[in-house]
Amino acid sequence: MLHVISLADGKQEKEVDAGAYVAGSVALADGRAYFGQFEMNSCALYLKEAKTAWQFRDRNFPFFSSPAVIKDRVVFGGRDKLLHCVSAKTARRCGVFQTRGKVDSFTGHLRG
């Protein structure tokens, strides 16, 4: 479950079924929450409506790391040894980067 908490008073506003275990933090941008989960999907959720905007699935590996959002793109690290870049609006693949191992977290400078 994803819990939407009010910053004003700390109370839970919504509880949304994420579809599977979410290991990383959620990235927030433009009224959406982006996250990867263990059913091999990366997801975007409309926060206000608590509805799924899209799901991205490329291979049968879980997404473990927290995503990064820059401009109109989202980058997800996977246990498939890849960084996946998709459109923030449509989940259309924009690129992929091969790593040397499973991506459980990543840091770095993302340029748009």
Q: Residue 53 sits in which domain range?
A: 2-98
User: Is the residue at 27 inside a domain?
Assistant: yes
Tokens of residue 51, six digits: 């509805």
pLDDT digits (tens, 9 = 90+) for 26-74: 999 999 999 988 888 888 999 888 899 999 887 778 888 889 998 899 9
User: Is the residue at 107 inside a domain?
Assistant: no
Query: Mean pLDDT for the chain?
Result: 86
Share of the chain above pLDDT 90, in %: 35
CATH number for the domain that contains residue 31 = 2.40.128.630
Please tell me the total count of domains within the chain.
1
CA angle 2, 41, 16 (to 5 degrees): 20
User: Is the residue at 29 inside a domain?
Assistant: yes
User: Is the residue at 26 inside a domain?
Assistant: yes
- Strand-pairing partners, residue 94, are none
Residues 46/4, Cβ–Cβ less than 8 Å? no
Residues 36/48, Cβ–Cβ less than 8 Å? no
